[in-house]
Structure 1
Amino acid sequence: MRTIPLGQTNLQVPVIAVGCMRIKALDKQEAERFIQTSLDLGANFFDHADMYGDGVCEEIFADAIHMNESVREKVLLQSKCGIRKGAFDFSKSHILESVDGILKRLKTDYLDVLLLHRPDALVEPEEVAEAFEQLHSSGKVRHFGVSNQNPMQIQLLQKFVKQPIAANQLQLSITNSNMISQGLHVNMLDDSAVNRDGSILDFCRLNDITIQPWSPFQYGFFEGVFLDNEKFPKLNAKIDEIAAKYEVSNTTIAIAWLLRHPSHMQPVTGTMNIERLKDCAKAADIRLTREEWYEIYMAAGNILP
């Protein structure tokens, strides 16, 4: 699979990240087959979080992949921490404790990437910096990033954190594309001009931070998928038309739409369906034309000013 550099690091990652939030739904044989298929496709970057299944998802993954030193060398592991029951927590003690738990469950000595999950209103960036430095110097975490953060939050962290912020995991799909549309509606008196995230897309491009779109098939906030959904007739008609041209599925085109953006995103899949995963992987080999990208954008209900 085609690869891209992750942020400012020297880590080359596949353009598709395999999200493991739903792996708990698979039995052992299904999980083994799913992970092997991912590896066969070249999608060896696996995204986790300590809150997924309260850690059970990480355990299932480690067992299904039969984690050992030889296997570890063939995969890239990313996990997230900072969400606990009733609070968000970026304290030094919680970050360190969380990473130790993640490593134990994944049966590994290190993470390739650690992301801080939802922003913590009580964050003390000096503590984050101390935690990152300890994790980095000990070899437990090689690279760091964030999730769902705006430019000022990242800049606040980066003021104290020595390691570069390599990635920012953000909700983004064809139907949830405000971070794109607000950049097209500058100085316009319409809802699409509302800047809800501080121009995070441009900020990440300017600072070489890889955007990892999560829920690339969802509309709203986990309200459902837009593909084959009667609520989005024009969008599906256009996606199906373009999918027929490339002789691929609508799933492939939905991911290809994200990959066509020049910011070099790394979408995070969430499916546990092997055929759909294969469809996602095919997007790495498709480059939509400018016209096709805009046609899909407008079919989703977006307008050009």
Structure 2
Amino acid sequence: MKRIKMGCTTLSIPAMALGIMRMNQKSVPEAQVAIQAAYDAGINFIDSADIYGGGKSEEIFGQAFSQMQIKREEMFIQSKTGIVPGKRYDFSKEHILHSVDEILERMQLDYLDSLVLHRPDALMDPEEVAEAFDQLQAAGKVRFFGVSNFDTAQFKLLQSCLSQRLMFNQLQFSLKHTGMIDFGMHMNMVDKPSVDRDSQFLDYARLHKVTVQAWSPFQYGMFEGTFIDNDGFPKLNQELQKLADKYEVGKNAIAAAWILCHPANIQMLVGSMNPQHIRDSAKGAKIRLTRQEWYDLYLAAGNYLP
């Protein structure tokens, strides 16, 4: 598994993480198979959130992991908080502290390697968040911190009040969600791809050594479904299959390789609970697409160059 540096640190993390959003749909033994498949492929980074399955995903993970032979210190375990189901976003100190305690209980852990704030809260008080982070770190409950779906200004605002460096920002990125790179190639134009919807965060991340975590790497839309083997995207799947045959892997590996080839050292979040898909996706970290292959996939996904 390809390894990358985490944020501004010298710590090494895998270029892929296992997202457990769908783990609530699995039995404990099935969850163990998925975790083991990821671990055996070099993916020793877990990404969760307190909202996944209403907390059930973390409960299943906790029961599964506690019965496995993998040592806690061999895993990097991350969770997210801040979404109150169907009601609001909440970055209050009280909510953050309470959520972490509940996450640790569900996952049967003493600490989280990373806590990520899940989608921006319009009522965020950066100084209040800073107090929560300081308290969590001092108590040994959280080692590192990050955010999810923040634009550049929101990221800077929060960072200005923190004593810790923010390590991560989770952003949607895939062959069918390319806004972070479209507008740069359509600079000074008036077409749809020229619109900057991400406030140039990818460039900011490279300048300030922030790890971008790409979510939904095989999805189109927000949660409409996967583009892999989808009849609605024949040209893209034809190109994926051509390269899959060349590199002797599955289509998931090629779609993963496309993301990981970007020089920003993006970490990709694999959300599948299918051991075969996990193993195939992991193979993408070993593939170095040519520049022409990378652009051929980009164009096959329905994009165009000016």
TM-score of the pair, normalised by structure 2: 0.97
Which residue of the partner structure matches residue 289 of structure 1? 290
Q: In the alignment, what sits opposite 1:179?
A: 180
Displacement of 1:69: 10
Is the 8 Å Cα contact of residues 3 and 13 (structure 1) preserved in structure 2?
Answer: yes
Once the two structures are TM-superposed, the CA of residue 71 in structure 1 deviates from its matched residue by 2.2
- 140-149 or 101-110, larger mean C-alpha shift: 101-110
Please name the residue that 2:96 is paired with: 95
- In the aligned structure 1, how far is the partner of 2:20 from the partner of 2:177? 21
Report the Cα offset of residue 25 of structure 1: 1.2
Cα distance between partner residues in 1 of 2:197 and 2:76: 32
Q: Helix, strand or coil for the counterpart of 2:285? A: helix
Gaps of 5+ in 2: none
Residue 16 of structure 1: aligned partner: 16
CA–CA distance in structure 1, aligned partners of residues 37 and 305 of structure 2:
40
Structure-to-structure mapping, 1:1-305, within 5 angstroms: 1-66=1-66, 71-85=71-85, 86-305=87-306
Question: Does the aligned pair in 2 maintain the 1:158–1:165 contact within 8 Å?
Answer: yes
How many residue pairs are counted as aligned between the two chains?
A: 305
Write the deviation string for residues 140-179 of structure 1: whole angstroms up to 9, x where unpaired: 1111000000000000001101111101111111010111
State the secondary structure of the residue aligned to 1:244: helix
What does the per-residue CA deviation read over 1:170-206, in whole Å, with 9 as the maximum and x for residues that have no partner?
Answer: 1111010111101111101100000111111111111
Corresponding residue SS for 2:265:
coil
The CA distance in 1 between the partners of 2:92 and 2:271, in whole Å, is: 28
Deviation, 1:10, is 3.5
- 1:68–1:107 CA contact under 8 A, matched in 2: no
What is the CA distance between 1:218 and its match in structure 2?
A: 0.6
How much has 1:263 moved relative to structure 2?
A: 0.3
SS of aligned partner of 2:302 = coil
Letter in structure 2 aligned against 1:267: M
Contact 1:45–1:77 (CA<8 Å) still a contact in 2? yes
TM-aligned CA deviation for residue 8 of structure 1: 1.1
Helix, strand or coil at the partner of 2:71: helix
Instruction: Give the Cα–Cα distance (whole angstroms) in 1 for the partners of residues 54 and 305 of structure 2.
Output: 43
3-state SS of 1:130 partner:
helix
Deviates most, 221-230 or 268-277? 221-230
- 1:67–1:107: 8 Å Cα contact kept in structure 2? no
Paired residue secondary structure (2:205): helix
* CA positional deviation for 1:67: 5.8
Structure 2 distance, partners of 1:236, 1:263, is: 25
**SS of residue paired to 1:295:** helix
Q: Name the aligned partner's letter for residue 50 of structure 2.
A: D
In structure 1, distance between residues paired with 2:160 and 2:37 = 41
Compute the TM-score of the two structures, normalised by the length of structure 1.
0.97
Q: Quick one: distance in 2 between partners of 1:70 and 1:53?
A: 24
Taking only the aligned residue pairs, the percentage that are identical comes to 52
- Cα distance in structure 1, aligned partners of 2:226 and 2:115: 28
Write the deviation string for residues 39-69 of structure 1: whole angstroms up to 9, x where unpaired.
Answer: 1111110100000112111111111112699
Q: Which residue type is aligned with residue 100 of structure 1?
A: D
4+ residue stretches of structure 1 with deviation over 6 A?
none
Native 8 Å contact 2:116 2:146 kept in 1:
yes
8 Å CA contact 2:66, 2:108 repeated in 1: no
Distance 1:200 1:166 in 2: 14
Whether the 8 Å CA contact 2:77–2:114 is kept in 1: the answer is yes
**Structure 1 position 7, deviation (Å):** 0.5
- Cα distance in 1, alignment partners of residues 175 and 125 from structure 2: 35
Q: CA deviation at 1:9?
A: 2.6
Q: Is the 8 A contact 2:15 2:266 kept in 1?
A: yes
